[in-house]
């Protein structure tokens, strides 16, 4: 009898502890009230939220109506980066590099002199459908499924889940035309990107130069916490240490951001003479979140510190060269800003995007809606309290990638070439002067898939725990 009573008591406890279920929201207005409550609590510009928003709007329109939107004249300190997505599961997977994709990033260029528009492969993901199809960085495509690529149809041609057959072409300078040379077919699949894309060590002019291409800041593959990609970075830098490199070139030209934790991790592998007592970055939240977090954790909560890494190469190098473009953003810029107090950081390429704010992913813990929010919640400073780079970091060595692009590590690449020239003190090669000749005038970039990449220009933080201690 006592055993039966004990069993019933245990079952009552389990039933009481079972997670309560909630009815889904039945109207956009209910979703919008939830959105407003989240923004009122977390949004960095909480004091700028409208007092009487229109709750009858669709959730995405409602969210956008709340934003303290950037305006160069009226609101130069405004929000350029918050966004909402109708499926939070897709949001979180895309922020970890898992999407339905061809495994190809591209640039679309128009040429008045040739009289046509064409695509250029910026890179393909190893093992992806595009890689298996034989497409590679620098390849030019003029048609997809037999239709000419134009400035108005390229999105349509490259969207959808069906097979894409690329007509690969080569520019013929003599006739000022594109000659078709091959076809390559690929079909989108769900695929996980590895952000640690390429690395090598070059010995040039008596210098041992480490070169690393890093495409996105995320520590693990989607749905895991194994730090797979952070560990791969450690392995790369352990190799750099073993080879006793004397210089580092970090290629972030297509890196538009990602997780703060991975930026700290990478910085900890590079910075000179740092310990876990050194500040990498300082976060600033809205006043109410600041008050709550300070009360719960203390003033030190807002500081992100370097980690001690046995693979750190800071003792081997005097500076770091970072290759950039106007799409280099967010966590990439956080890395530049955070390293600057500890060592010279030389920027090679184009002015970066200019994003000094971070976001978190917000979802309904009661699962009443699938909408996910990615609002700006913080502003970042380095250890010197410097944060004023909203216009981007200007290059120390201004260089453009050019019309025709080369494989990663190829010294004809103008960005890599400029960095090597700065390191060795030798003048840049003139091998690419033909690009600026009259036969190549009139080329202009229309768009790049990098700008449409999930999380473009974002810096993701873990959602702070503000529950009562």
| Mean residue pLDDT across the chain | 91
Given 3.40.1180.10, 2.30.42.10, 3.90.1300.10, 1.10.3470.10, which CATH number is that of 102-191? 2.30.42.10
Whole-angstrom distance, CA of residue 461 vs CA of residue 80: 17
Are 458 and 377 in contact by the 8 Å Cβ rule? The answer is no
For residues 430 and 445, the model is more confident at 445
Residue 136 tokens read as 């590679």
Report residue 91 CA to chain centroid gap.
14
Mean pLDDT calculated for residue range 157-166: 96
Q: Residue 427's pLDDT is what? A: 79
Residue boundaries of the structural domains of the chain? 102-191, 193-430
Mean pLDDT calculated for residue range 314-331: 96
Look-up: residue for tokens 């693990």? 220
Whole-angstrom distance, CA of residue 207 vs CA of residue 71: 46
Query: Among 71-75, 81-85, 455-459, which stretch is predicted with the lowest mean pLDDT?
Result: 455-459
Q: Residue 13's pLDDT is what? A: 52
- For 387, what's the count of Cα atoms within 13 Å in the CB-facing half-sphere? 16
Work out the percent of the chain whose per-residue pLDDT is above 70: 92
CB neighbours of residue 94 within 10 Å: 18
pLDDT score of 143 more than 70: yes
Residue 319 tokens read as 């500076």
Residue (of 208, 240, 221, 251) closest to 310 by Cα position: 240
Mean pLDDT calculated for residue range 296-313: 97
pLDDT score of 410 more than 60: yes
Whether the predicted model's global pTM rises above the 0.85 cut: yes
Mean pLDDT calculated for residue range 174-179: 90
- Which secondary structure element, helix H or strand E, spans residue 121, and what is its range? strand 116-124
Mean pLDDT calculated for residue range 257-272: 96
Q: Residue 96's pLDDT is what? A: 81
pLDDT score of 7 more than 70: no
| CATH superfamily ID and name for 193-430 | 2-enoyl-CoA Hydratase; Chain A, domain 1 (3.90.226.10)
Mean pLDDT calculated for residue range 286-295: 96
pLDDT confidence band for 453 (50 / 70 / 90)? confident
Q: What is the SS3 assignment for 83?
A: strand
Question: Angle, nearest 10°, between helix axes 260-270 and 331-339?
Answer: 40
- For 404, what's the count of Cα atoms within 13 Å in the CB-facing half-sphere? 16
pLDDT score of 168 more than 90: yes
Are 373 and 38 in contact by the 8 Å Cβ rule? The answer is yes
Question: Angle, nearest 10°, between helix axes 260-270 and 228-242?
Answer: 10
Whole-angstrom distance, CA of residue 125 vs CA of residue 42: 35
Query: Among 165-169, 191-195, 198-202, 435-439, which stretch is predicted with the lowest mean pLDDT?
Result: 435-439
For residues 112 and 19, the model is more confident at 112
Residues 6+ apart with CB under 8 A from 455: 94, 95, 216, 256, 257, 258, 374
Residue 104 tokens read as 């190809």
Residue 124 tokens read as 């393909």
Q: Residue 114's pLDDT is what? A: 84
Q: What is the SS3 assignment for 202?
A: strand
Whole-angstrom distance, CA of residue 469 vs CA of residue 397: 50
- Which secondary structure element, helix H or strand E, spans residue 231, and what is its range? helix 228-242
Residues 6+ apart with CB under 8 A from 8: none
Question: Angle, nearest 10°, between helix axes 28-42 and 287-297?
Answer: 60
Mean pLDDT calculated for residue range 429-447: 57
- pLDDT one-digit tens code per residue, 332-379: 999 999 999 999 999 999 999 999 999 999 999 999 999 999 999 999
Query: Among 43-57, 106-120, 387-401, 443-457, which stretch is predicted with the lowest mean pLDDT?
Result: 443-457
- Which secondary structure element, helix H or strand E, spans residue 294, and what is its range? helix 287-297
Sign of CA dihedral 292, 298, 299, 301: negative
Q: Residue 439's pLDDT is what? A: 44
Q: What is the SS3 assignment for 179?
A: strand
Are 183 and 168 in contact by the 8 Å Cβ rule? The answer is yes
Residue by residue, DSSP assigns 306-334 as P---TT--TTT-S-EEEEE-TT--THHHH
Whole-angstrom distance, CA of residue 405 vs CA of residue 420: 17
Q: Residue 430's pLDDT is what? A: 40
Q: Residue 438's pLDDT is what? A: 37
Work out the percent of the chain whose per-residue pLDDT is above 90: 79
Residue 249 tokens read as 């070139």
Q: Residue 9's pLDDT is what? A: 52
Whole-angstrom distance, CA of residue 165 vs CA of residue 102: 11
Mean pLDDT calculated for residue range 306-319: 98
Question: Angle, nearest 10°, between helix axes 59-66 and 28-42?
Answer: 30
Mean pLDDT calculated for residue range 72-90: 91
Across-strand partners of 383?
none
Q: Calculate the alpha carbon distances from 428 to 168, 418, 419 in Å.
A: 30, 6, 9
């Amino acid at each position: 009898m006592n055993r039966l009573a004990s069993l019933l008591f245990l079952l009552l406890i389990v039933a009481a502890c079972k997670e309560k279920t909630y009815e889904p929201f039945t109207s956009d207005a209910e979703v919008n009230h939830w959105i407003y409550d989240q923004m009122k609590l977390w949004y960095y510009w909480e004091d700028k939220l409208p007092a009487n928003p229109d709750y009858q709007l669709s959730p995405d329109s409602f969210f956008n109506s709340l934003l303290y939107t950037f305006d160069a004249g009226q609101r130069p300190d405004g929000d350029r980066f918050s966004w909402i997505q109708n499926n939070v599961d897709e949001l979180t997977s895309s922020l970890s590099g898992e999407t339905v994709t061809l495994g190809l990033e591209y640039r679309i260029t128009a040429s008045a002199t040739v009289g046509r528009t064409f695509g250029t492969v910026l890179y393909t993901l190893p093992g992806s459908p595009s890689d298996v199809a034989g497409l590679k960085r620098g390849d030019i495509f003029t048609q997809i499924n037999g239709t000419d690529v134009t400035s108005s149809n390229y999105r349509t041609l490259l969207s959808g889940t069906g097979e894409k057959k690329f007509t690969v072409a080569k520019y013929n300078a003599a006739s000022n035309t594109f000659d078709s040379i091959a076809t390559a077919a690929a079909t989108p699949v769900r695929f996980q990107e590895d952000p640690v894309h390429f690395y090598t060590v070059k010995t040039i002019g008596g210098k041992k130069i480490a070169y690393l291409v890093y495409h996105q800041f995320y520590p693990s593959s989607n749905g895991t916490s194994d730090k797979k990609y952070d560990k791969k970075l450690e392995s790369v830098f352990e190799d750099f240490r073993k080879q006793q490199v004397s210089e580092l070139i970090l290629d972030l030209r297509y890196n538009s951001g990602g997780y703060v934790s991975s930026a700290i991790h990478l910085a900890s592998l590079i910075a000179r003479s740092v310990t876990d007592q050194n500040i990498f970055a300082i976060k600033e939240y809205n006043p109410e979140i600041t008050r709550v977090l300070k009360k719960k954790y203390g003033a030190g909560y807002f500081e992100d510190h370097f980690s001690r890494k046995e693979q750190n190469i800071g003792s081997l190098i005097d500076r770091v060269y970072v290759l950039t473009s106007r799409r280099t953003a967010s966590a990439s810029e956080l890395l530049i800003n955070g390293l600057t107090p500890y060592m010279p950081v030389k920027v090679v390429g184009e002015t970066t995007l200019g994003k000094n704010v971070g976001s978190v992913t917000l979802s309904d813990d009661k699962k009443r809606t699938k909408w996910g929010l990615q609002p700006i919640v913080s502003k970042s400073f380095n250890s010197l309290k410097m944060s004023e780079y909203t216009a981007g970091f200007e290059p120390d060595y201004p260089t453009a990638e050019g019309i025709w692009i080369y494989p990663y590590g190829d010294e004809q690449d103008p960005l890599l070439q400029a960095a090597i020239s700065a390191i060795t003190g030798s003048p840049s090669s003139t091998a690419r002067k033909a690009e600026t000749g009259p036969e190549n005038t009139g080329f202009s970039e229309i768009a790049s898939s990098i700008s449409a990449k999930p999380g473009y220009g974002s810096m993701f933080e873990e959602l702070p725990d503000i529950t009562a201690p």
